[in-house]
Amino acid sequence: MTPIADCATEPSPWSPREAELLAATLQLLQENGYERLTVDAVAATAKASKATVYRRWPSKGELVLAAFIEGCRQAAVHPNTGSLREDLLALGEAITAHATKHSATVRAVMVEVSRDPALREAMQHQFLDQRKALIESVLRQAVGRGEIQAAAISDELWDLLPGYLIFRSVMPTRPPTMKTVQAFVDNVIIPSLTRPLA
């Protein structure tokens, strides 16, 4: 499947140099995990001074969350295929590929964010709000095409598609595959969005 999708259309909040430091952080997280990540190694990998890293991200939690969010921003797809099913498959495949590759980072972010209200706030405003708007936009387009009714969209469950796929990615026993995405979209998400409404 080749979805018609624009990648990374949200503007980056970072300078090119900052983006390099975050990319180095994400790469080290993927290679060595969260526990072994040090600001020294990030600075060395990106050929920067430790002071440069600390000035921008004073704690390891802030650095890791920023790297995670920037990685997701760059990997995000904004599908606009003209079909709800194809849009959902494109979103689900992108989420699965990214969350599986960066599962150690996702687990670390969940732990760090749970410990620190400021990180929680950052996660909400710099990440979740945008993801929610993206999914709502895909669903509103489907309403516009007459594929689903507006009343079928649930604010309570807006993150069902990413949520279950991320759960599968961070549970190390059964990482999700393209088969998972297809079964989820065809047998769960679309039947839910097209269910008979009272």
Residues that bind a second copy (CB under 8 A): 33, 103-104, 107-108, 110-111, 113-115, 120, 123-124, 128, 152, 154, 156-157, 159-160, 163-164, 166-168, 170-173, 179-180, 183-184, 187-188, 191-192, 195
Burial 31-57 (b: 16+ CB within 10 A, else e): eeebeebebeebbebbebeeebbeebb
As measured in angstroms, the least distance from the Cβ of 166 to a second copy is: 6
Q: Which residue, 141 or 192, has its beta carbon nearer to a second copy? A: 192
Q: Which residue, 57 or 184, has its beta carbon nearer to a second copy? A: 184
According to DSSP, the β-strands at 77-79 and 5-7 are: antiparallel
Return the axis-axis angle of helices 129-144 and 160-170, rounded to nearest 10°: 130
H/E stretch holding 6 reads strand 5-7
As measured in angstroms, the least distance from the Cβ of 193 to a second copy is: 9
Q: Which residue, 74 or 180, has its beta carbon nearer to a second copy? A: 180
